[in-house]
Amino acid sequence: MKRNPEPELMEKKEQVISYDEADFSEGEVNLINQINHYLSRKNISLSEKDLIVDLGCGPGNISEKLAIKWPKTEVVGIDGSKEMILRAEYKKNISNNQKKLKNLRYICSDIKDIKSNNLLLKKEISLLVSNSLIHHITNLEDFFNTIRSLSSNLTVNFHKDLKRPLDEESALELKAQCSTKYNEILTNDYYASLRASYTFKELKNFILENNLSSLDVFEDSDQYLIVYGNV
Ligand SMILES: C[S@@+](CC[C@H](N)C(=O)[O-])C[C@H]1O[C@@H](n2cnc3c(N)ncnc32)[C@H](O)[C@@H]1O
């Protein structure tokens, strides 16, 4: 199926509310476990000296889980949508986990402008994460340029996203499954995301053609891809 890009930022209020109200916790817990497992295999333990950055953090679902898992470590969630950042900050403020979230903060910025805005960051990034971001980015080089410019040679990258279905029929099947659990706005967004997502081959070829061979791509079930490693 040919890629059909979607707008990068999720800025419409109803879109943000639908996304935030949905329960994606199973997949999110799974991602935190995958990251933890990967760090353990590499003998990396995160402490107060480290910095975790969650790109395209949306309403902060993953940022909060990262902060709860590594409460001593500074966690920064970044999203270009003001509505998403407002939502993320609101959720942080009403969370029952205040103590564990005290090292979590949010920044509103397009990922393409982080470096030039000089927004961050007093430390080097130890762990650079994203979930469901890559498919939003119109040009793959923008995503990889960003992670390249934010990473040192010690930064662990871990980016999970949807994998584009093989054909329209499979995309429609996944859309129909989605509609049994989620509302119409979210179902349409999910379908647009499936059509906008990249394939294993597109990501792998980009990495090979752009001297990024310390990164790799892993097919996580038949629906997801993970780009991981060092830049
Ligand atoms: C599908 S949501 C995922 C949110 C979150 N990572 C999660 O797993 O729940 C994608 C998010 O990426 C953000 N985004 C897309 N393109 C971006 C860009 N160029 N710069 C910053 N954020 C971006 C959108 O605004 C949206 O909040």
Instruction: Ligand 1 pocket test: pick from 8, 19, 136 the residue with the most ligand atoms within 8 Å of its Cβ.
Output: 136
Domain positions in the chain are 13-229
Q: What is the pLDDT of residue 120?
A: 59
Token duo for residue 45: 């333990």
Residues in the chain with pLDDT values less than 50: none
pLDDT at 145: 96
Architecture of domain 13-229: 3-Layer(aba) Sandwich (3.40)
Q: Express as a percent the part of the chain with pLDDT over 90.
A: 95
- Asked whether 56 lines ligand 1 (CB < 6 A), one says yes
Q: Which residues contact 175 (CB under 8 A, 6 or more apart)?
A: 187, 190, 191, 194
Indicate the burial class of 95 (C-beta count within 10 angstroms; 0-12, 13-18, 19 or more): middle
Asked whether 18 lines ligand 1 (CB < 6 A), one says no
Beta strands across the sheet bearing 215-220:
104-108, 74-79, 51-55, 127-131, 156-162, 224-229, 215-220
pTM over 0.95: yes
To test the pocket of ligand 1, the residue of 9, 119, 197 to mutate (highest count of ligand atoms within 8 Å of its CB) is: 9
Cα 174 from Cα 74, distance rounded (Å): 37
Give the C-alpha separation, 69 to 51, whole Å: 13
Q: Which residue, 210, 105, 86, is CA-closest to 147?
A: 210
| Residue 141 pLDDT | 97
Q: Would you state the pLDDT for residue 122? A: 76
Closest by CA position to 165, among listed 116, 84, 222: 222
Distance 111 CA to ligand 1 centre (A): 9
Q: Two tokens at 10?
A: 């999720």
CA of 57 to the centre of ligand 1 (A): 6
pLDDT at 119: 60
Residue 83 CB less than 6 A away from ligand 1 = no
Q: Which atom of ligand 1 is nearest to the CA of 56?
A: 12
**By three-state DSSP, how is residue 141 classified?**
helix
Contact at 8 Å (CB) between 131 and 55? Answer: no
- DSSP letter at 228 equals E
Q: What is the structure's pLDDT at 214?
A: 95
Q: What are the tens digits of pLDDT across the range 141-189?
A: 999 999 999 999 999 999 999 999 999 999 999 999 999 999 999 999 9
| Residue 74 near ligand 1, beta carbon < 6 Å | no
Residues 135, 203: contact at Cβ < 8 Å? Answer: no
- Mark residue 183 as left, alpha or beta (left: phi above 0; alpha: psi -120 to 50; beta: remaining): beta
